[in-house]
């Protein structure tokens, strides 16, 4: 897993801050998946940091719950 760049983090924060009125549920699910993936990468590069690992786990759980079930 590659270490997240500042540019990636900045882009995610900007997307999270963008107005939500035109966002579909699929758009929101994709954004939450990006957030979870980024946090998982942060956690992978901070071994031993239980709080970071827990934040990443919770973000992944939330992102997965937003995915449509087939």
Whole-prediction pTM value?
Answer: 0.87
Residue 32 to residue 34: CA distance in whole angstroms: 5
How do residues 9-44 score in pLDDT, each as one tens digit?
999 999 988 877 778 889 999 999 999 999 999 999
Residue 31 to residue 13: CA distance in whole angstroms: 10
Indicate if the pLDDT at residue 70 is higher than 70: no
| Model pLDDT, residue 69 | 76
């Amino acid at each position: 897993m590659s270490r997240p760049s500042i540019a990636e983090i900045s882009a995610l924060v900007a997307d999270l801050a963008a107005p939500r009125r035109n966002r579909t549920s699929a758009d929101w699910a994709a954004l939450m998946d990006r957030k979870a993936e980024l946090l998982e990468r942060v956690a992978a590069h901070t071994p031993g940091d239980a709080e970071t690992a827990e934040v990443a786990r919770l973000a992944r759980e939330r992102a997965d719950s937003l995915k449509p079930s087939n």
